[in-house]
Amino acid sequence: MVRKDLTEDIKLLWDKQISKINKIGRAPEGIEVNFYRMSSGQPTFNKHISFPNKSAELLVAEVRVRIEDSDELSAKVWCLNGFLFSIEYDRCPDYFEEAAGMETDICPLTLACTMRGDLSAR
């Protein structure tokens, strides 16, 4: 959802960062998911793939998942110091993951993405 709203040059960095993620940490009940690029047991921060915006904490986007006209889940996508770092959910996403796997015309899901931060800002 987020990638489609990025500029072409930022999409390239986004894709490189995603491809280098090799460790994922999940908080209890999946409320937060953290992404790491590890080498020799240590997090790495390759400046060649970092976003121009190196804010200590940057709320990049908020994605909302709605089941029909009833239930909604909000997910905030965060970057730290120029690197994609986490997704924070406003509650446990398990129910929505299950619904996404069973999506039918009877129970449609809608997704909406609102960009909040500019990854290309210096």
Mean pLDDT, to the nearest integer, of 7-11? 97
Q: Give the residues across from 121 on adjacent strands.
A: none
Helix (H) or strand (E) holding 53: none
Q: Give the residues across from 83 on adjacent strands.
A: 80
Q: pLDDT grade, residue 28 (50/70/90)? A: confident
Q: Give the residues across from 30 on adjacent strands.
A: none
The Cα–Cα gap between 52 and 41 comes to: 26
pLDDT tens digit string along 63-121? 998 887 778 999 999 999 999 999 999 998 887 777 777 755 666 788 899 999 999 99
2, 60 in Cβ contact below 8 A?
Answer: yes
The Cα–Cα gap between 42 and 11 comes to: 26
